[in-house]
Amino acid sequence: MSSVTTTAPATGSSPAALSLLWIAGVVLLAAVPFLAPNLQLLVNFALAKGLAVVGVTVLLRAGQVSFGHALFFGISAYIGAFVMASVPGMDFFGILIAGTLGAALAGLVVGLFVVRYRGIFFGMLNLAFSMIFWSILEKFYHITGGADGIRLTRPTVLGMELGRDAFELFLYYTAIVLVVGLGWFTIRWFASPVGQLFQTIKTNETRLEYLGISPRRAMLSGYLLSAALCGVGGILMATAQGVVTPEYVWWVRSAEMVFIAVLGGAGSVRGAFLGALIYEFVRTYASAYAGDVWQMLLGAFLLVIILFAPGGIIGIFERVFARGKGTS
Amino acid sequence: MTEPLLETRDLVIRFGGVTAADHVSLKIEAGRNLAIIGPNGAGKTTFLNICSGWIKPSAGSVHFEGEDITRLPPRKIVTRGVARAFQIPQLFTEHTALENLLIAASARDGLRNPLRSMHGIDARDEMMHLLDMVNCADVADRVVVELSEGERKLIDIAVALALKPRLLLMDEPTSGVASSQKDEIMEILIKALSEANVTSVFVEHDMSIVQTYADEVAVWNAGNVQLRGTPSEVLEHPDVIRDVIGEEIA
Amino acid sequence: MNLTTFLLALFDGVSYAALVFIVALGLTLIFGVMRILNVAHGSLYAIGAYATVSLVGWVLALGAAPILAFPLMIVSAILVGVLIGGPVEYLLLRRIYDKPEVLQLLVTFAVFMILEDVQRLVWGTQPYFEAQALRALGNVTVFGVTYTVYQLILLPLVALTLLVGLRFFLRRTVTGKLITATTEDREAAQSIGIDADRVFLLTFVMGAILAGLGGALASPTTSILPGMGADMIVLSFAVVATAGLGQIEGAAIAALMIGMGRSFAIYIWPEVAVLVPYLIMVLVLLVRPEGLFGSPAARKI
Amino acid sequence: MKKLIATTALCAALPMGAFAQDKPDSLKVGMTTFLTGPASVFGVPARDAMDIMVQNLNDEGGINGVPVEVSYIDEGAGAEALTSEFRRAVEQGGAEVMFASISSGNCQTLAPLAEDLEVINFMWDCGTQRIFEEADYDYVFRTQANATPEMLAAVIYLLKTQPDFETLAVVNQDYAWGRDSWDIFRTALMQFKPDVEIVGEFFPAFGAPDYSTEISRLQALQPDVVLSTSWGGDLDTFVQQASQRGLMNNSTFVLPLAESSLERLGSALPPGQIVGARGDHYFLHPERRDDEDFKSFMSQYEDQTGNITVYSVFHASQALAALEAAYTKAIEENGVEWPSQEQVLAAMDGLEFQGLGRPVTIREDNQGIEAQLMGTSAQNGDYPFATLENIMIFDGAELTAPVGEVSTDWIETLGPEFVDEIEPTTFEN
């Protein structure tokens, strides 16, 4: 019952001009700390969130919408905070790995349940799992710090203690490397046999079954990837933020990820990052300059995109720049 | 006598009050294309669904090359060598024809490398050849939703063949196709089957097709095989003319 | 737990369930007919409450009898349904029925965001409280525990009336049958001359009125404040998904389960009360993927 | 959008403002407050009050001729927006001092950030006592009390006015404040009156719309005292539902934050309940209500907002008073036109300032020492809502954990005699 307008899952590469443009985009991002240092933190948040949005995008490729993926974002962030609290002097890469593995493991456990479901039920069940975790975070306050969350002290980097500026700069470039690396991986994964089998869930599970493939197993592969991506995003966000709160898992946060995925261009990895950047800018500046109506502005923005540019921002972007059939 | 490719023993299935399969025992020999004919609602598709694992029978068993496959899910039966084509083509509609076949080949070969594009897999030439065999090479790069029903039916069969099955179950391969094209499709199909050394069981309503392309015919009526034999034997039988062909004409 | 506390927990559960059911009813009606999960339902609930408080406050300030609060609740609900629900369907949803369901859902999410700010712009951030209607009905004492008549008797009664009324409307009246026919097969309904656009508009307005009515009825019992809609929508989702989407009677039973689960939790193990709705939902969906009363969609090949 | 980014990038490239010693055009202050979300019941009044007070201050020539300019950041927009905006205010907005924040969670996020950014930060409203108990800060100060004196005042007021109660139940919001405040209250109560039986502990969800079940439970349990440190809409709902169902006929309610709900609750808050104000914050402050500045501000505030003040208004006044006092002191001590940041920081040491309440002093651990006001609700017809009688104002120093001690550990060293040793100033109303 569910299907999403995605850019064709075909695997053709984008025209060279467009690729150059993307490379220019990454270079521009890398130059932010020098050109506009005040935007660095904001872009860092957007990149972290963008990774989680890619996680949601993976599922959109199979026509499924999760309204609870903030769960994995939050699990990873909390694991990072717990590890930092219990192992003093923990290294950044230690919590990055721990958080991502934790999110993937949670993805496996939740995934084993939810891969049986499709459409609205898939979305709702994910929502329920995330809300259970949210309630637990709020409830077991002596462990989780309740609504105030847990402070995540600055980890060392390969044994070095960095000051805030140095650490943030390191984190920023780590985020760019992860975004480029994981974005590239996800695009390759989409084009690979496993990724293609996963995406066929959107159009025909019967045929998938008759190819000798378990749709649930195929679904689980994508679900794991999406959970792990959210996990990486969560740990990046938590270290950039320095604190984790139950708000990381709140349903509006999950809806926001779907919001950004569709805003950027549902199904597009690059669109997810583009969407996250634009969303974060609009949100921050709208709340700064139009404190009373920023939600309204965002809502109206989303409506305009859905009604008039269903391909999302990436759709507009590629229509303007691409000559030929540019995809994902 | 050699072991049959597929054998059903005493299959029974009931839906509510209707008995769709009533103690069906049927043997299918390798190398002989079997057509199943019979009036609507006689249980022909249900029979294919049971053999391919989509529906579990109330009683009885299905054996493929001697192995009991009754309780296996479709995907396990597929990996044993039984492929299925459908009355309504079951394709990945947002993919191209070639991609549909490449996905099938990936599934068959169990490809796991997430960094290698599906388009670069070794089976690509094989799949192009398969498309060529079903006369669809010219639409290889077109997205399935844009194709005609006839093309989709052929690609549906090609996808099944891509799995290198030993038995292919087909549900009305020529339905939904203009009558002028039916023979063309069947020609292509039978040639492809023999080239790939695949035995087929196909449900068919068009008696001239059955006459021309089947090696054997089973007449299905009221949930069981009423009569079985060569096309000429069966189609001249008075009961068949009255019960089955008469209805087809009407 | 003795019989008395059991009964007390039962009463609390029923009165809570009644309110949740009324809100969930509109959500499930809209989903049943239009296949849209309306996230903005929570905002309509909140605006229903705000509208009631403003209207009742204004009319009672003119010196009217408190009992007048009851018709004013209905007026507020209808205003919400017609003035907000109507335009939302007519101007927005109508353009997206052929779009994928995630986009439909996001459109309602966008409406939710917009309406959240509208509430704040119109009513500000300070909580409102207007309990004249609740006081007008007085209290009743059971086993030494005082309940308000409003919560113990009126709310369950209204919920029951709505349940029976909606069943009757859908099964026995011409308009109701048009709606059911459209639900079953939109194209077939159109082919026999049913104006599906009108049916959808009508359904959405009805659903919105029910959301508004939920808010109106809740208003004397709770503080009306920003954010109340976001909480309610998650709870209603849980009820509707537990019941099986589009299941009206099912929603009543799911609401009772969740209401009871919550109140018994407060008596036995208060720590888990917040978790109860989601636990029930997950457990039910794991056992019955389509919800308690939903029917699995048959897949044909 | 593009234009917005371009503008911001441009702003970033501009030099960061004048040298500290030159007299600037204005003293820029960033204040985080809830403009959206449930806590805007405090945030919006504080902003409105701040606007009035800043206007008043600037009309009188500002601080040594420099006008104060406050910009606001919405805490309701989420933690990411808050941290980005906080940084932006400091690094681009040229804010010399920040007032942050209302939420304790946000204080815990922003305090280390302020320290890293080396910007002076006044924690103007958040209650958590943990911040200075867990770490030392050079740039972060609290211009008001923390949760410990607030809760101790409530316990002591209860024991002084109703020494004979036997049972108590608690209904708190299920989040950090609800839990923390109960921890302190319970620990103190167990030290001062160990025989009290705690018959029920309820932590309904934050923002819960309905307390019917909890109230039924309380009616069955019949505790002598019901404590709730809830605030805002949650407190309103709980009190309304409880009073409607007659729960307050048999139990005394202790509501340490009810001062901020008095006006909204109207006649729903029956007489005889214990009300606190997170400090000596009350629009009829018995020591201050006849003072000219107090009276004129109160009437200004009521004219502009149509409401009476709540405690966050007092907290805002203290933050601004601290700012004025620190700069004035730094200017005098150093004999300069305008102080450098080091001079302001030096002036913070032992700073005394007075907002709308009693004077507040900054202790050596940067914690403010603030008086606490408790009272009992009365419906005497002067206002369409409850006012306070039998008011006690506690000196903050005795109730605050000594420098370097953790509050709960310190409370555990106290005995029942502590209650008698504390001698608040008492007023009939």
Q: Give the CATH number for residue D233.
A: 3.40.50.2300
pLDDT of residue D9: 42
pLDDT tops 60 at residue B91:
yes
pLDDT in tens, B33-49: 999 988 877 788 889 99
Q: Is residue C107 less than 8 Å (CB to CB) from chain A?
A: yes
Nearest Cα of chain C lies from the Cα of A216 at a distance, in angstroms, of 14
Q: Do D237 and D318 share a structural domain? A: no
pLDDT tops 70 at residue D1:
no
User: Amino acid identity of B14?
Assistant: R
Contacts of C120 in chain A (CB under 8 A): 292
pLDDT in tens, D150-203: 999 999 999 999 999 999 999 998 877 888 899 999 999 999 999 999 999 998
Gap between the Cα atoms of B117 and B97, Å rounded: 17
Q: Region D382-389: what's the mean pLDDT?
A: 94
pLDDT tops 50 at residue B249:
no
With helix as H, strand as E and coil as C, how does D324-363 read? HHHHHHHHHHHCCCCCCHHHHHHHHCCCEECCCCCCEEEC
Contacts of B90 in chain C (CB under 8 A): 301
User: Residue D68, SS3?
Assistant: strand
Q: Which chains touch C (3+ CB pairs under 8 A)? A: A, B, D
Nearest Cα of chain B lies from the Cα of A194 at a distance, in angstroms, of 6
Selection from D144, D143, D93, D135 nearest residue D116 by Cα: D135
- Establish if D325 belongs to a structural domain: yes
Gap between the Cα atoms of A187 and D368, Å rounded: 55
pLDDT of residue B245: 63
Residue whose entry in the numeric block shows the structure tokens 């036109």: D337
The set of residues, in sequence order, having a beta carbon less than 8 Å from that of B248 and lying 6+ positions away, is: B39, B205, B207
Contacts of D88 in chain A (CB under 8 A): 38, 288
pLDDT of residue D2: 42
Do D92 and A38 count as a contact with CB atoms less than 8 A apart?
A: yes
For residue A247, the surrounding DSSP H or E stretch is none
pLDDT of residue A233: 97
For residue A8, the surrounding DSSP H or E stretch is none
pLDDT tops 70 at residue A7:
no
pLDDT of residue C194: 82
CB D162 within 8 A of CB D114: no
Q: Which of D319, D353, D369 is at the close of a domain?
A: D369
Do A207 and B121 count as a contact with CB atoms less than 8 A apart?
A: no
Single pTM value for the model: 0.84
Q: Which of B73, B103, B108 sits opposite A200 (nearest CB)?
A: B103
Q: How confident is the model at residue A14 (pLDDT cuts 50, 70, 90)?
A: low
Q: Which residues of chain C have pLDDT under 70?
A: 1, 296-301
Q: How many structural domains is chain D composed of? A: 2
Q: Do D393 and D254 share a structural domain? A: yes
Q: Region D351-369: what's the mean pLDDT?
A: 95
pLDDT of residue B248: 52
Q: Is residue B74 less than 8 Å (CB to CB) from chain C?
A: no
Do C279 and A132 count as a contact with CB atoms less than 8 A apart?
A: yes
pLDDT of residue A5: 38
pLDDT of residue A3: 37
Contacts of B88 in chain C (CB under 8 A): 301
DSSP bridge partners of C148: C139
pLDDT of residue A125: 87
pLDDT in tens, D335-353: 999 999 999 999 999 999 9
Nearest Cα of chain C lies from the Cα of A207 at a distance, in angstroms, of 10
Task: Quote the domain boundaries for residue A45.
Answer: 14-249
Could you tell me if residue D384 is left (phi over 0), alpha (psi between -120 and 50 degrees) or otherwise beta? alpha
- Which chain D residue has the Cα nearest residue A279? D1
- Establish if D286 belongs to a structural domain: no
pLDDT of residue C14: 93
Q: Is residue B99 less than 8 Å (CB to CB) from chain A?
A: yes
pLDDT in tens, D41-82: 899 999 999 999 999 999 999 999 999 999 999 888 777 778
Helices in chain A by DSSP H: which ranges?
16-35, 40-61, 70-86, 92-114, 119-139, 141-144, 164-191, 193-199, 205-209, 215-241, 251-264, 269-289, 294-308, 312-321
Residues 23-52 of C with CB under 8 A from A: 37, 39
pLDDT tops 90 at residue D387:
yes
Q: A135, A203, A250: which to substitute to probe chain C, counting the most C Cβ within 10 Å?
A: A135
Gap between the Cα atoms of D303 and D319, Å rounded: 23
Do D105 and A35 count as a contact with CB atoms less than 8 A apart?
A: no
Nearest Cα of chain B lies from the Cα of A325 at a distance, in angstroms, of 13
Q: Which of B149-153, C185-189, D392-396 has the highest mean pLDDT?
A: D392-396
Nearest Cα of chain D lies from the Cα of C41 at a distance, in angstroms, of 17
Nearest Cα of chain B lies from the Cα of C300 at a distance, in angstroms, of 10
- Establish if D52 belongs to a structural domain: yes
Contacts of A188 in chain B (CB under 8 A): 114-117
Q: How confident is the model at residue B244 (pLDDT cuts 50, 70, 90)?
A: low
Least confident of A130-134, D79-83, D251-255: D79-83
pLDDT of residue A326: 42
pLDDT in tens, B175-231: 877 788 788 888 888 888 888 889 999 998 888 888 889 999 998 887 888 888 898
C-alpha atoms less than 13 angstroms from C-alpha of D139 in its C-beta half-sphere: 19
Least confident of A96-100, B132-136, D19-23: D19-23
Q: Do D262 and D386 share a structural domain? A: yes
User: Residue D366, SS3?
Assistant: coil
pLDDT of residue A321: 67
Nearest Cα of chain D lies from the Cα of A168 at a distance, in angstroms, of 12
Nearest Cα of chain A lies from the Cα of B34 at a distance, in angstroms, of 21
- Establish if D285 belongs to a structural domain: no
- Which chain C residue has the Cα nearest residue D218? C145
pLDDT tops 90 at residue D411:
yes
Q: How confident is the model at residue D19 (pLDDT cuts 50, 70, 90)?
A: very low
- Establish if D259 belongs to a structural domain: yes
Q: Do D88 and D7 share a structural domain? A: yes
pLDDT of residue D340: 93
Chains C and D touch (3+ CB pairs under 8 A): yes
Query: Which domains, from first to last, does chain B contain?
Result: 1-81+167-178+199-250 (3.40.50.300), 90-164 (no CATH)
Q: Which of D44, D209, D236 sits opposite C125 (nearest CB)?
A: D44
- Establish if D356 belongs to a structural domain: yes
pLDDT of residue D210: 83
Q: How confident is the model at residue D303 (pLDDT cuts 50, 70, 90)?
A: very high
Task: Quote the domain boundaries for residue D32.
Answer: 2-142+291-369
Do D77 and A291 count as a contact with CB atoms less than 8 A apart?
A: yes
- Which chain C residue has the Cα nearest residue B170? C301
Q: How confident is the model at residue B247 (pLDDT cuts 50, 70, 90)?
A: low
Contacts of C151 in chain D (CB under 8 A): 212
With helix as H, strand as E and coil as C, how does D250-277 read? CCEEEECCHHHHHHHHHHHCCCCCEEEC
Q: What is the mean pLDDT of chain A?
A: 87
CATH fold for domain C3-287: ABC transporter involved in vitamin B12 uptake, BtuC (1.10.3470)
Q: Which residues of C touch B (CB under 8 A)?
A: 301
pLDDT of residue B246: 60
**Quick one: how far is CA A292 from the chain centroid?**
28
Contacts of C301 in chain B (CB under 8 A): 49, 54, 86, 88, 90
Q: How confident is the model at residue A325 (pLDDT cuts 50, 70, 90)?
A: very low
Q: Do D85 and D40 share a structural domain? A: yes
